[in-house]
Amino acid sequence: MQERVMPFRCIVCDQRHWDGITVMEEFICGRCEREMIRTPVEHEKYPFFVVQMRKIWLKEQA
């Protein structure tokens, strides 16, 4: 059975994608997921990812 699903909106880059993962009912696109994985903690972009991920955790607690 072919199911028609709308593209998900990535919580990190705020763009709609088809491929990616769902964390705590929030979607992270494959591109951002790969970027997060290969971004070292000391990288200047890392805090950005942490902030985006924190949105998910805060939502979960609400």
Least separation in angstroms between residue 61's CB and Zn ion is 23
Are 10 and 32 a contacting pair, CB within 8 Å?
yes
| Residues between 22 and 41 that touch Zn ion (CB under 5 A) | 29, 32
Q: Is 23 exposed, middle or buried (0-12, 13-18, 19+ CB in 10 A)?
A: middle
Using CB under 5 A, pick the residue from 13, 23, 36, 56 that binds Zn ion: 13
What backbone torsions phi and psi does residue 3 show, to the nearest 5 degrees? -100, 135
Least separation in angstroms between residue 6's CB and Zn ion is 16
Given the rule CB under 5 A, which residues bind Zn ion? 10, 12-13, 29, 32
